[in-house]
Amino acid sequence: MAIDLTDKVCLITGADEGLGFGTARGFIKRGAKVAAGLLNPEKFASRLAPAFTVKMDVTKPEEVEAAVAQVVEHYGRIDVLINNAGIYPRLAADEMTFDDYKTLREINLDGTWRSCLAVIPYFKKQGSGVIINTGSITLRMGMAHLAHYESTKGGILGMTRGLARDLGKYGIRVNCLPRRRSDRRGRSTGNRSRRATYQTGRETMPTRPSYPRNC
């Protein structure tokens, strides 16, 4: 049975491509008022019409706060935050520099934290709100060349549990949803491809030679 999201204001980070794009399109079909957080609105906004699009680099606190404020100004409220922005380069742990690891953590873990902090004051004022953080099925089983990625997803799971305890009394629900890889249009690829990619907020590309600075 399809979920009815009629008139729910939903902010989705990293909606340029991949899972974020697919989620945004799915929510629009189900009646949601979607706000798409994009790295490159000029390039991708037209594909997400009629969504309201905002520039949102989750590595920049001021941009995250401004994006959330724009959504509230535009729609009058915000009901749901989906923390989707993230990257997952596949590398053995000893092949990754610590600077590379910090970049990944800044996007996946810190970006999720920043986005949560930006919406919490609005949710408290409303007395309601939903935060959905993106986990990964790899966290349960462990996968080669993804220790760095799995460490960020483990942090997100712990963050989710702690925030749920802190915020439940304000009518705010916090959950973590494990998800699988998708293609650039947001369709699940399962295990069809083992190619390392940057998934969300950038064009899908091989892990090397470089990391995107933001996502």
> In this structure, what DSSP letter does residue 192 have?
S
Residues in the chain: 215
- In this predicted structure, the answer to whether residue 172 has a pLDDT above a threshold of 70 is yes
Which pLDDT band holds residue 183 (cuts at 50, 70, 90)?
very low
Q: Cα separation of 65 and 113, whole Å?
A: 12
Q: Cα separation of 16 and 43, whole Å?
A: 9
Chain segment 124-134, per-residue pLDDT in tens = 999 999 999 99
> Is 211 part of the annotated catalytic residue set?
no
Residues 186 and 19 sit within 8 Å (Cβ to Cβ): yes
pLDDT, mean over the chain: 84
Q: What percentage of the chain exceeds 70 in pLDDT? A: 82
- Give residue 215's pLDDT: 31
- In this predicted structure, the answer to whether residue 211 has a pLDDT above a threshold of 60 is no
The domains of the chain, with CATH numbers, are 9-179 (3.40.50.720)
> Of 50, 55, 80, which is closest to residue 201 (Cα–Cα)?
55
Q: Which of 88, 149, 198, 211 is catalytic?
A: 149
Q: Read off the pTM.
A: 0.83
- Give residue 3's pLDDT: 82
Give the residue with greater pLDDT, 187 vs 97: 97
Which ranges in the chain belong to alpha helices (H)? 18-29, 41-44, 61-75, 98-105, 111-126, 138-141, 147-167
Which pLDDT band holds residue 82 (cuts at 50, 70, 90)?
very high
Q: Cα separation of 191 and 164, whole Å?
A: 32
- Give residue 88's pLDDT: 81
- Give residue 137's pLDDT: 84
Average pLDDT of the residues in 2-11: 91
- Give residue 189's pLDDT: 41
